[in-house]
């Protein structure tokens, strides 16, 4: 099962007064990685929306926070698909620190994405042209 990796640098904007990355901001990192995974598969989400009225919405997420990420760290987001259904995709993602001497998993997530119509916001089956290409990366 293919694994897609995307680097994320921690800037001040991502941290809070506790000195670590604010818990909601890991969800931003996870989404950047999913967006780049889709781009690497050949799909731009703005074009999917304009040409096919397709948008991807998060239906549910589970996150385990193991260790905090800190200002200035370079993180690595691992993304792979664990399930592919009619209108939804289940991702398994994790964020690791990449210090020279140690690699440590900081945060793990399971994310269910639903393909929806951009106007009606109702779920729609993932079209075949998209499915066949994305499944090559599963």
Catalytic site residues?
16
How many residues contact a second copy, by CB under 8 A?
Answer: 38
Length of the chain in terms of residues written:
138
Return the sign of the alpha-carbon dihedral for residues 106, 78, 80, 33: positive
Locus of tokens 């731009």: 44
52 is a site residue for a second copy (CB under 8 A): no
Residue 101 is a binding residue for a second copy (CB under 8 A)? no
Q: By CB under 8 A, is residue 23 in contact with a second copy?
A: yes
Name the one range near a second copy by CB under 8 A: 6-14, 80-88, 90-98, 129-137: 6-14
Beta 88-98 vs 74-84: how paired, if at all? Answer: antiparallel
Q: Does 100 bind a second copy (CB under 8 A)?
A: no
Residue pointed to by tokens 């993602």: 93
Nearer to a second copy, 3 or 60 (CB): 60
Does residue 44 bind a second copy (CB under 8 A)? Answer: yes
Q: Does position 11 bind a second copy by CB under 8 A?
A: yes
Q: What are phi and psi of 106, to 5 degrees?
A: -100, -30
> Which backbone phi and psi does 34 adopt, to 5 degrees?
-65, -40
Helix/strand number for the chain, H first, E second: 3, 5
* Interacting residues with a second copy (CB under 8 A): 9, 11-13, 15-20, 22-25, 27-28, 31-32, 35, 44-46, 55, 57-65, 68, 70-72, 118, 121
């Amino acid at each position: 099962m293919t694994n897609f990796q995307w680097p994320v640098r921690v800037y001040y904007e991502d941290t809070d007064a506790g000195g670590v990355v604010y818990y909601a901001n890991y969800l931003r990192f996870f989404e950047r990685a999913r967006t780049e995974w889709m781009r690497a598969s050949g799909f731009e989400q703005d074009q999917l929306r304009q040409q096919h009225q397709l948008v991807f919405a998060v239906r549910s997420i589970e996150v385990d926070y193991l260790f905090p990420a800190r200002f200035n760290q370079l993180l690595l987001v691992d993304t792979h698909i664990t399930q592919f259904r009619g209108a939804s995709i289940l991702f398994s993602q994790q964020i690791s620190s990449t210090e020279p001497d140690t690699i440590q998993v900081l945060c793990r997530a399971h994310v269910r994405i639903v393909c929806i119509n951009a106007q009606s916001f109702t779920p729609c089956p993932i079209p075949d042209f998209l499915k066949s290409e994305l499944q090559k990366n599963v």
